[in-house]
Amino acid sequence: MARRRVLVVEDDAAIREGVVDALAFAGYEPLAAGAFRDGLDLALRAPIDLLLLDLVLPGGDGLTLLGEVRLTRPTLPVILVTARGREEDRVRGLELGADDYVVKPFSVKELLARAAAVLRRSAERPLERPEVEFPGGTADLARGELRFDDGERRELSELEGSVLRYLAANPSRVVSRNELLERVWRLPANRVRTRTIDMLVVRLRDKLRDERVIETVRGKGYRFGGSA
């Protein structure tokens, strides 16, 4: 069985090396970065199963990195590892989509236990998809564009792509507006009006050139109805 790959983004070299060694000893395949840009590049492009992310990084803020990752990899499990213990930092991280939060100093045993728990939960999530097929074309989520069989191309925003990815990963069931808010927007359902989702879906349907690709189930939500 292939080892699970874990990316550690941590600016403190001693902590980073200690976590990497512990992960390797526990049977994971660790990757590491010590700064914002390197961490973001790996988080967006490397085939990883879990991201361990520090909040304070050279060149940028960890919460900013988390927000960028969530736009293109909405299902990637993330644990924040930080010295910030303030409640507002923890809440902000969870709102942006972090799965768990570990405050320094922490024990390696605790970190490994939390990583294992998050990875177990993540097994139930929809798989990430680089492309989504729909009648008449393909959505290239990595490039952010719709490609039609007749040669036309249309731009796809990151949020539109995230919504399309999530719906396509759940083709057999209705996805509620609240679920989209919590899983794609990564916000509590009571923080954003559901009308915001309706407007985005209207724009997305127009771009897809076929309103049947995203079906509205009255009073319940939306369902992906497209297949090539």
pLDDT digit string (tens) for 4-31?
Answer: 899 999 999 999 999 999 999 999 999 9
Query: Average pLDDT of the chain?
Result: 85
Token digits of residue 173: 């069931």
CB 192, CB 185: distance < 8 Å: yes
pLDDT band at 228; cut points 50, 70, 90 = very low
pLDDT digit string (tens) for 154-163?
Answer: 998 878 888 8
pLDDT band at 214; cut points 50, 70, 90 = very high
**DSSP one-letter code for 81:** E
In this structure, how many other beta carbons lie within 10 angstroms of the beta carbon of residue 221? 20
Architecture of domain 131-224: Orthogonal Bundle (1.10)
Domain with CATH 3.40.50.2300 in the chain: 5-122
- Distances in Å between the alpha carbon of 7 and those of 114, 142, 184? 15, 20, 22
Strand partners, 220: none
pLDDT value of residue 19: 95
- H or E, element range at 119: helix 108-122
- Decide which of 13 and 179 is more confident: 13
φ, ψ of residue 79 to 5 degrees: the values are -120, 125
Section 173-196 average pLDDT:
74
Domain with CATH 1.10.10.10 in the chain: 131-224
Looking at domain 5-122, its CATH class is alpha beta
pLDDT digit string (tens) for 55-88?
Answer: 889 999 999 999 888 877 877 899 998 876 667 7
Q: How far apart are CA 151 and CA 171, in angstroms?
A: 26
Token digits of residue 136: 């008449």
pLDDT digit string (tens) for 105-134?
Answer: 889 999 999 999 888 876 545 555 678 899
